[in-house]
């Protein structure tokens, strides 16, 4: 429990540091014209992290690298926690498998599959597009405004994809949704019993 509080405090600290490094008026001014041209919004009125790597004063370039570096550390830490905690869960279940019934073992396997899929979904839907947009400016790759549309749509589909993974992995839920048997009306059942 103490580890959770420490980790939460560290993530908040990283968030404040990222905003302190990336949210500079110089960066917003530099992006103002192109941001208005692309999105029709004044960048000075937004609370954005502006990471600019070329044609800017030296201080801003280092701040941009620092903010992207902190974002990367925070994201990689989250992914590492996903994998570590998942591995620890699998090991603890394997230690207890001799004390479980066969049905419980099967259910635990199904739940582990669902957990693995729930771990993979955010990596592809949330993390990958963000990393692409963070690092493309460093290598002078212009992705245009299309990447922001892809990211927004990917993040919007996440709440839909997450429960679908559980429904598809656990047979009891899958049967309830896809193979639901139609209820036989009570009158038809009584009619059949009187005929035979």
pLDDT in tens, the chain (196 residues): 777 788 778 777 777 777 666 677 777 777 788 778 877 888 788 777 777 777 766 677 777 788 888 888 888 888 888 888 888 888 887 787 777 788 888 888 888 888 888 878 888 777 888 788 788 878 888 777 677 777 788 778 888 888 887 888 888 888 887 776 654 555 544 555 555 5
Please indicate, yes or no, whether residues 9 and 91 belong to a single structural domain of this protein. yes
The residue range of the domain holding 196 is: 101-196
Distances in Å between the Cα of 178 and the Cα atoms of 80, 127, 167, 174 are 35, 31, 10, 6
Claim to verify: residue 66 and residue 112 sit in the same structural domain: no
Task: Answer yes or no: do 61 and 115 share one domain.
Answer: no
Give dist(CA 191, CA 196) in Å, integer.
Answer: 9
28 and 117 inside one domain: no
Tokens found for residue 106: 């099967």
Note the pLDDT of residue 153: 82
């Amino acid at each position: 429990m103490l580890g959770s509080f420490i980790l939460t405090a560290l993530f908040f600290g990283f968030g404040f540091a990222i905003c302190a490094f990336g949210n500079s008026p110089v960066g917003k001014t530099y992006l103002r014209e192109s941001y208005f041209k692309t999105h029709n919004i004044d960048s000075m009125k937004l609370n954005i992290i502006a990471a600019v790597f070329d044609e800017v004063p030296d201080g801003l370039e280092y701040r941009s690298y620092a903010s992207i570096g902190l974002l990367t550390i925070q994201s990689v830490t989250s992914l590492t926690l996903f994998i570590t905690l998942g591995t620890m869960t699998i090991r603890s279940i394997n230690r207890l498998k001799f004390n479980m019934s066969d049905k419980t073992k099967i259910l635990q396997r199904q739940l582990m599959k669902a957990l693995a899929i729930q771990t993979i979904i955010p990596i592809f839907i949330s993390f990958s597009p963000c990393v692409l947009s963070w690092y493309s400016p460093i290598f002078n790759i212009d992705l245009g405004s299309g990447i922001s549309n892809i990211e927004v749509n990917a993040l919007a589909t996440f709440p839909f994809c997450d429960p679908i993974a559980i429904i598809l992995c656990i047979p009891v839920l899958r049967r309830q949704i896809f193979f639901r048997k139609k209820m036989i009306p009570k009158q038809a059942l009584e009619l059949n019993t009187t005929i035979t």
